[in-house]
Amino acid sequence: MNSYISTSWKEELERLIQGKSLVFLLADSNLPDSYSRDIIKVCNMETKTHLFKIKGGEEIKTHHHLILIYNELDRVGADRESVCICLGGGTISDLGGFAASTYKRGIDLVILPTTVVGMVDAAIGGKNGINVQSKVGILKNQIGTFYQPKLTGIDLKWLGSLPTDEVKSGWGEMLKHALLTGGPHLEQFKNAEPNLASLTPLIIDSGNIKEGIVRRDVKEKGERAILNLGHTIGHAIESLDLDSSHGSKSKHGIAIAWGIVFTLEVSVMKMGFNDALAKELIKWIVDIIGSREEIWGSDAVWFKMCKDKKNTNGNVKDVLLRNPGDADWGFTWEREEFTILWEQFRERYELTSF
Rounded distance, CA 47 to CA 14, Å? 10
Would you tell me which CATH number, out of the four given (1.10.150.120, 1.20.1090.10, 1.10.3720.10, 3.40.30.10), belongs to the domain 165-352?
1.20.1090.10
Residues contacting 96, CB < 8 A, separation 6+: 26, 69, 84, 86, 109, 111, 128
The CA dihedral of 269, 272, 274, 276, to the nearest 10 degrees, is: 20
Mean pLDDT of the chain: 94
E-state strands within the chain: 5-6, 22-28, 49-54, 82-88, 108-113, 127-134, 137-146, 151-153, 292-294, 316-323, 326-333, 350-352
Question: How far apart, in Å, are the Cα atoms of 257 and each of 151, 202, 220, 311?
Answer: 28, 18, 22, 21
Please write down the HEC assignment for all residues of 154-207: CCHHHHHHCCHHHHHHHHHHHHHHHHHHCHHHHHHHHCCCCCHHHHHHHHHHHH
Question: Per-residue pLDDT tens for 194-208?
Answer: 999 999 999 999 999
Question: How far apart, in Å, are the Cα atoms of 179 and each of 10, 53, 288?
Answer: 33, 36, 16
Q: Taking the domain 5-162, which CATH number applies?
A: 3.40.50.1970
Question: Per-residue pLDDT tens for 94-128?
Answer: 999 999 999 999 999 999 999 999 999 999 999 99
| Greatest Cα pair distance in the chain | 61
pLDDT at 310: 87
Rounded distance, CA 135 to CA 161, Å? 37
Question: Which run of H or E residues covers position 239?
Answer: helix 231-243
Rounded distance, CA 146 to CA 202, Å? 26
To 10 degrees, what angle do helices 275-289 and 252-271 make?
Answer: 170
Is a pLDDT exceeding 50 seen at residue 62? yes
Question: Per-residue pLDDT tens for 89-102?
Answer: 999 999 999 999 99
Q: What is the mean pLDDT of residues 151-158?
A: 94
Helix, strand, coil distribution of the chain in percent, nearest 5? 55, 20, 25
pTM: 0.94
Question: Which run of H or E residues covers position 270?
Answer: helix 252-271
Residue closest to 265 by CA, chosen among 190, 346, 334: 346
β-sheet bridge partners, residue 87 = 27, 112
pLDDT-derived band of residue 353, with 50, 70 and 90 as boundaries? very low
Rounded distance, CA 40 to CA 49, Å? 7
pLDDT at 244: 86
Contact 258, 348 (CB under 8 A): no
Same fold, 5-162 and 165-352: no
Q: Where are the domains of the chain?
A: 5-162, 165-352
CA 25 to chain centre: 21
Is a pLDDT exceeding 70 seen at residue 215? yes
